[in-house]
A and B are shown apart, each in its own frame.
With several copies, the nearest count.
Chain A
């Protein structure tokens, strides 16, 4: 584990390759690109981007060295950190919190009604998948990762889930935005559980900014600039609540060829909060939930966070220092 000796600072990188999803929960990336905030902050470093549909693909790209940083959910971040024994990546900032919910079809009004039903999640072991498994367990249901148990959980790609739900082949799904809103607005689904209700203060991480460890070691200056752009984006969203929806939608349309319906994006934005705080204190719970759900190997996430650059950034801009909750550098 020590063979990859501490790489030294090599100054600013020529290029930063950034990954993100064309999703409302990744709005800081979308806005940063659409408004040019990220490139402005990076200066001479060229920004190139890559759009992913799911966490694993982004992690694989990061591991293979095809990208340097990516917006991603907390669980895939935990996963790669544990699998690589801390050698793959670091979380350098938070991006979004909230914006996930269990939506179900008409007629299901309580947890009791879920017995024998089939629910979807975006991906085995992703943030929502773990949340659903944890929640079901708390409700006294048995589940397992191979589709057995009292409630069947079937990890299914979001677009497919939408289709299957409309066709009546699924009874519900624990999804991130904007899919919650799409199911609610376009498919008549009802929110049974808002994930925010499951966490103290209603705050839980949905998206974080993850950087390849090697890149972080070699080009801290570039990562710093990226963080500046990221912070600017988050700030921009807070400051432009009126136009944020259309800017986000413009980038989504550019990446996927299809904008979201106005009602969908409006509803989605109501449920997501954007912040640079990764809520490090919740990560131990996330790991416990993952291990309990059987989607996570046991392992230490000590060192997952490297918030030094972010805190330095915040110090200059007058923000409050963010804690790594003992899981890394501050």
Chain B
């Protein structure tokens, strides 16, 4: 009974190896391809069915085409806009504005967020105002911006900034807040200086929250931009998707309106899927925050 009481080092090693093997399961991410299909196919089928139902309605009820265009009309409007080059120009203009505005918002929002997250008194005073600004529909800034900047691109950028900056700031703040206090303490115990603590511990730990803020900031940028473009069409403001939407409305061209909505939706989904999605998934997976599988 006493014989193996003191496990030799080797003994311990083999025991630990056995336990480690039992406690870690390496489930291979097999079936990725299948997951892709099983997550992409159903919505595609649903959309196809939806379009079929729509077409059926058009054929059976034969409604006025200016009130209910057929899918083919919408497709026609889309190809027409493409052929005239208007579509490309609108997408490029809007994307350029949206991305540039978003980048400016990041450049402005990040230091503000850091300042607010780390300096208590400033945060107490300014934090609620920033949260309040998030409640304000950024479209409300459009009329003021028009008066200040006229019908120019500056108006669009101003509205984007007012929409995106509060999100980015709040994202960074909540990211820093969610850093487990344990990690800060470990950093301190390991002998990190204030600067090392910030760069080696707090910032990387706050990344998921910050990124969520960026994602939301982008959504707000895009929303605000569309609103601004719709409202401020005219003047020297460039031709974006919102302008196109407004113009197709002016021409009572519902097929064109729906085509533009489809493009706006498509771009939103594309940026989410092709840009933010992979980065976020990689970051979360690297931290084990992403449940494997799942519908989202």
Q: Which residues of A contact B (CB under 8 A)?
A: 1-4, 50-57, 59-61, 63-66, 76, 79-80, 83-85, 87-88, 118, 120, 123-126, 144-148, 152, 154-157, 159-161, 163-164, 167, 169, 294-297
B61 is an interface residue with CB less than 8 A from chain A: yes
In the assembled complex, the Cα of A53 lies from the Cα of B244 at a distance in Å of 16
A148: chain B residues at CB < 8 Å are: 89, 239
Q: How many residues of B contact A (CB 8 A)?
A: 35
B20: chain A residues at CB < 8 Å are: none
Chain B 45-89: CB-based contact to A (< 8 A → 1; otherwise 0)? 000000000000000011111110000000000000000111001
Is A123 touching B62 in the complex (CB atoms < 8 A)? no
Partner of B61, one of A3, A144, A295, A297: A3
A-B contact sample (4 more), CB < 8 A, given A64-B147, A88-B64, A146-B239: A63-B66, A63-B67, A159-B250, A169-B151
Is B65 touching A57 in the complex (CB atoms < 8 A)? no
Partner of A50, one of B67, B235, B249: B235
Partner of A169, one of B66, B89, B147, B150: B150
A61: chain B residues at CB < 8 Å are: 150-151, 235-236
Also in contact, A164 and B249, with CB within 8 A (given A66-B150, A84-B64): no
Is A79 touching B84 in the complex (CB atoms < 8 A)? no
Also in contact, A79 and B235, with CB within 8 A (given A87-B64, A145-B86): no
B259 is an interface residue with CB less than 8 A from chain A: no
Report 13 cross-chain contacts, Cβ distance below 8 Å, ordered by A residue. A3-B61, A52-B235, A57-B146, A60-B146, A61-B236, A83-B65, A84-B64, A123-B250, A148-B89, A154-B151, A154-B236, A169-B150, A169-B151
Is A147 touching B247 in the complex (CB atoms < 8 A)? no
Is B239 touching A83 in the complex (CB atoms < 8 A)? no
CB distance from B159 to the nearest CB of A (A): 14
Smallest CB gap from A167: residue in B: B150
A53: chain B residues at CB < 8 Å are: 234
What are the 4 closest A-B residue pairs judged by CB atoms, nearest first? Answer: A64-B150, A156-B234, A146-B239, A83-B66
Partner of B247, one of A63, A79, A118, A145: A145
Partner of A64, one of B148, B239, B243: B148
Is A64 touching B251 in the complex (CB atoms < 8 A)? no
B250: chain A residues at CB < 8 Å are: 54-56, 123-126, 155, 159
Is A1 touching B62 in the complex (CB atoms < 8 A)? yes
In the assembled complex, the Cα of A163 lies from the Cα of B147 at a distance in Å of 10
Is B236 touching A118 in the complex (CB atoms < 8 A)? yes
A161: chain B residues at CB < 8 Å are: 234
Chain B 76-106: CB-based contact to A (< 8 A → 1; otherwise 0)? 0000000011100110000000000000000
Partner of B252, one of A1, A83, A169: A83
Q: Which of B115-160 contact A (CB under 8 A)?
A: 146-152
Also in contact, A147 and B238, with CB within 8 A (given A66-B151, A83-B65, A156-B151): yes
Is B249 touching A56 in the complex (CB atoms < 8 A)? yes
Also in contact, A63 and B61, with CB within 8 A (given A155-B234, A164-B235): no
B233 is an interface residue with CB less than 8 A from chain A: yes
In the assembled complex, the Cα of A64 lies from the Cα of B236 at a distance in Å of 12
B280 is an interface residue with CB less than 8 A from chain A: no
B253: chain A residues at CB < 8 Å are: 83, 297
In the assembled complex, the Cα of A120 lies from the Cα of B151 at a distance in Å of 12
CB distance from A26 to the nearest CB of B (A): 15
CB distance from B63 to the nearest CB of A (A): 8
B235: chain A residues at CB < 8 Å are: 50, 52, 57, 60-61, 66, 154, 156, 160, 164, 169
A84: chain B residues at CB < 8 Å are: 64-67
Is B151 touching A295 in the complex (CB atoms < 8 A)? no
B249: chain A residues at CB < 8 Å are: 56
Is A76 touching B234 in the complex (CB atoms < 8 A)? no
Is A50 touching B64 in the complex (CB atoms < 8 A)? no
Is A163 touching B234 in the complex (CB atoms < 8 A)? no
Q: Which of B148-175 contact A (CB under 8 A)?
A: 148-152
In the assembled complex, the Cα of A206 lies from the Cα of B251 at a distance in Å of 18
**Interface-central residue, B64, B84, B236, B247, by most chain A CB under 10 Å:** B236
Is B66 touching A64 in the complex (CB atoms < 8 A)? no
In the assembled complex, the Cα of A155 lies from the Cα of B249 at a distance in Å of 13
In the assembled complex, the Cα of A56 lies from the Cα of B146 at a distance in Å of 10
In the assembled complex, the Cα of A55 lies from the Cα of B234 at a distance in Å of 12
In the assembled complex, the Cα of A286 lies from the Cα of B66 at a distance in Å of 20
**Interface-central residue, A55, A146, A163, by most chain B CB under 10 Å:** A146
A57: chain B residues at CB < 8 Å are: 146, 151, 234-235
A54: chain B residues at CB < 8 Å are: 250
Is A160 touching B67 in the complex (CB atoms < 8 A)? no
Is B149 touching A64 in the complex (CB atoms < 8 A)? yes
Smallest CB gap from A81: residue in B: B66
CB distance from A269 to the nearest CB of B (A): 25
Smallest CB gap from B148: residue in A: A64
B236: chain A residues at CB < 8 Å are: 50, 61, 66, 118, 152, 154, 169
In the assembled complex, the Cα of A160 lies from the Cα of B246 at a distance in Å of 12
